Amino acid sequence: MKIKLQQNVKFPTSAQLDKSTQVIVALPEPVKDSHWRQLPYGDVLRQRLQQGKGKETKTRLVTDLPNRQGTKVSLGIIKSDADVFELLDESRKLVQPLLQANPTEISIVLAGFKEGPGERLVESLLAALLAATAELPNYKSKPSTKTRLSRINLFGLKTGHGFERTFAAAEGNALVRSLSMRPPNMLTPRKYVSEARKLAKANKWQLKFHSVADLKKRKAGAFLAVVQASPEDDAGILRLRYTPAKKSSKRPVYLVGKGICYDTGGVNLKPQRAMFGMHEDMQGSALALGTLLALSRLKVDYPVEAWLALAMNHIGPKAYKPNDVITAADGTTIEIVHTDAEGRMVLADTLFMASSDKPRLIIDYATLTGSCVQAIGTNYCGVFSNRLAWYPQLIEAGRASGERVWPFPMDGDYDQAIESKIADVRQCAMEGGVDHILAARFLQRFVKHDTPWVHMDLSAMNRKGGLAHIPTDTIGFGVRFSLNLLLDQKVI
Ligand code: BES
Ligand code: ZN
Ligand code: ZN
């Protein structure tokens, strides 16, 4: 449901506050007397904040106002040097206590902020509210009676815009999370395609599906190796294209995503702990879709196409196996080492096909390697590119969006680890270590015509307790980052 945002330059009157049931109050550090005095109930709030013990309670307070309906206030003192990630993180904590009551309306009151910092804070509070109230899959047999947030009243700030990018990114993120959280029996490649068809219709996207039969004609052996154990021929590459209303001569941006709807590991079967959660191995494809949705909401003036590599990594008598040698669509022969390295296989052919169109830029998203998680944890995602000069902009897109990324090296000598005696290349090395780098080097071979390319290894796809503004374990990381990269960083 669309949430209405109303902006007011003025502070609320006591009467207005008395009418609200849930209020977020934010003040900048150091708080001046005048800031407290501007606020209705300022004295009460100040006194209660100072009564709190310890540092935590001196910068945050949850309390009920002494009025008839006991207006619930979540108050925060915001550090002046907080970066976007910290603002998002703080916003999640401020928003959380108010949502237990399932309010339909929430007020935000800012006192004492300059325009820039005030706007940044509101942006992150909005992001946190939208993230926390997103509709996500729930299969409990007892239906939930939750009401939905439908209105946010902002006091103390009025901007000339409606935070369109924040809303678009939140919608994209909600799509990523809701697809990723679907159990694997509820989101097979076939069901995924039918969901995407609905989205395509609603958003006037063109849709094209490269089925297994079509991929056979194209000799896409890398993709087909992964799906040969699937009992159903429902895998394929799904393309969805947004075209701007006004005719554009700009070449399209392609968003490629790994869409493994379940990763058992294949013949090299994953152990129980590592397998649990592998229905989220399609999060890269959902991120391509979520970013496409956000970009089309923002009506960018160039075409954007999502390429979703949809498949299951099954185990069975027909499954591909270590020591197989397969031929990819571009003719590269690949010596299979480990069937659990399936992501790079389906992406190899997808990247080859996508780059054959010579788009302006390809970004691929993939929950590709455990070693990226080992390297940087689940706080950041790893990024790679065949344009080394973009590394500062990639870091900045992460910093400025609050979805932080860190780049890794892409030097050619890493390829020694994936040399094969029998084929052109090995799928992965026998011993791990820097598999995230080797996987990126492997993928780069299939990006043709020197197409500008960014690869994101989604190590921050799932994190216990959430990350930044996101309160669920499934993070849906990447829409904010991608919007910043495409709209602010001037890489294209
Ligand atoms: N989907 C996994 C990687 C993954 C695991 C991403 C956990 C995020 C969280 C991928 O297909 C995989 O299994 N990779 C193997 C590669 C190895 C066999 C070379 C891995 O990382 O163990
Ligand atoms: Zn795998
Ligand atoms: Zn995988």
Residue 343 Cα: closest atom of ligand 1: 11
DSSP letter at 404 equals -
CA of 186 to the centre of ligand 3 (A): 18
Answer yes or no: are the C-beta atoms of 160 and 121 closer than 8 Å.
no
Distance, in Å, from the CA atom of 310 to the CA atom of 184, rounded to the nearest integer, reads 12
CA distances from residue 377 to 83, 177, 213, 381 in whole angstroms, order as listed:
20, 20, 39, 8
**pLDDT at residue 53 greater than cutoff 70:** no
Which residue out of 268, 340, 344, 345 has the highest number of ligand 1 atoms within 8 Å of its CB and is therefore the one to mutate?
340
- Residue 55: per-residue pLDDT: 56
For 372, counting Cβ atoms within 10 Å of its Cβ (0-12 exposed, 13-18 middle, 19+ buried), the class is buried
Give, using CA atoms, the residue closest to atom 17 of ligand 1.
341
- Residue 232: per-residue pLDDT: 94
Report residue 321 as tokens: 């196996």
Residues 120-130 have a mean pLDDT of 98
The amino acid at residue 292 is L
Answer yes or no: are the C-beta atoms of 257 and 172 closer than 8 Å.
no
Distance, in Å, from the CA atom of 283 to the CA atom of 259, rounded to the nearest integer, reads 7
| Active-site pick, 93, 120, 270, 448 | 270
Give, using CA atoms, the residue closest to atom 22 of ligand 1.
370
The residues lining ligand 1, judged by C-beta closer than 6 Å to any ligand atom, are 263, 281, 338, 340-343, 367-371, 373, 428, 435
For 143, counting Cβ atoms within 10 Å of its Cβ (0-12 exposed, 13-18 middle, 19+ buried), the class is exposed
**pLDDT at residue 145 greater than cutoff 80:** no
Task: Tell me how many degrees the CA angle 231-233-239 measures, rounded to the nearest 5.
Answer: 140
Give, using CA atoms, the residue closest to atom 3 of ligand 1.
369
Residues 325-362: b if buried by 16+ CB within 10 A, e if exposed = ebbbbbebebbbbbbbbbbbbbbbbbbbbbbeeebebb
- Residue 56: per-residue pLDDT: 58
Indicate the range of 87-91, 147-151, 345-349, 407-411 predicted with least confidence: 147-151
Report the 10 Å Cβ neighbour count for 487. 14
CA of 258 to the centre of ligand 2 (A): 11
Nearest to 5 by CA among 125, 94, 97: 125
Residue 278 Cα: closest atom of ligand 1: 1
Residues 367-376 have a mean pLDDT of 98
Which residue out of 282, 367, 369, 378 has the highest number of ligand 1 atoms within 8 Å of its CB and is therefore the one to mutate?
369
Q: pLDDT tens, 465-486?
A: 999 999 999 999 999 999 999 9
Contacts of 286 (CB under 8 A, 6+ apart): 175, 176, 179, 180, 257, 259, 476
CA of 387 to the centre of ligand 3 (A): 26
Answer yes or no: are the C-beta atoms of 131 and 471 closer than 8 Å.
yes
Answer yes or no: are the C-beta atoms of 73 and 64 closer than 8 Å.
yes
**pLDDT at residue 52 greater than cutoff 80:** no
Residues found in the chain: 492
CA of 351 to the centre of ligand 3 (A): 16
Q: pLDDT tens, 310-336?
A: 999 999 999 999 999 999 999 999 999
Q: What is the mean pLDDT of the chain?
A: 96
- Percent pLDDT > 90 in the chain is 94
- Closest ligand to C-alpha of residue 368 is 1
Structural element, H or E, at residue 238:
strand 236-242
CA distances from residue 412 to 369, 389, 415, 418 in whole angstroms, order as listed:
19, 16, 6, 11
Q: Is the dihedral of CA 158, 160, 164, 165 positive or negative?
A: negative
Give, using CA atoms, the residue closest to atom 19 of ligand 1.
341
- Residue 1: per-residue pLDDT: 64
Distance, in Å, from the CA atom of 416 to the CA atom of 407, rounded to the nearest integer, reads 21
Q: pLDDT tens, 156-208?
A: 999 999 999 999 999 999 999 999 999 999 999 999 999 999 999 999 999 99
Answer yes or no: are the C-beta atoms of 63 and 73 closer than 8 Å.
yes
- Residue 490: per-residue pLDDT: 86
How would you classify the pairing of strands 453-457 and 381-385?
antiparallel
Mark whether 445 is an active-site residue.
Answer: no
- What are the two backbone dihedrals, phi and then psi, of residue 117, each rounded to the nearest 5 degrees? -60, -35
Residue 338 Cα: closest atom of ligand 1: 18
Report the 10 Å Cβ neighbour count for 27. 25
| Active-site pick, 72, 258, 344, 463 | 344
- What predicted TM-score, i.e. pTM, was given to this entire model? 0.98
CA of 224 to the centre of ligand 1 (A): 19
Give, using CA atoms, the residue closest to atom 9 of ligand 1.
370
Mark whether 197 is an active-site residue.
Answer: no
CA of 281 to the centre of ligand 3 (A): 5
Residue 367 Cα: closest atom of ligand 1: 6
Distance, in Å, from the CA atom of 102 to the CA atom of 147, rounded to the nearest integer, reads 6
**pLDDT confidence of 409, banded at 50, 70, 90?**
very high
- Closest ligand to C-alpha of residue 370 is 1
Distance, in Å, from the CA atom of 444 to the CA atom of 198, rounded to the nearest integer, reads 33
H-assigned helices in 238-328: 272-275, 283-297
Residues 383-417: b if buried by 16+ CB within 10 A, e if exposed = bbbbeeebbebbebbbbbbbbbbbbbebeeebeeb
Distance, in Å, from the CA atom of 224 to the CA atom of 368, rounded to the nearest integer, reads 18
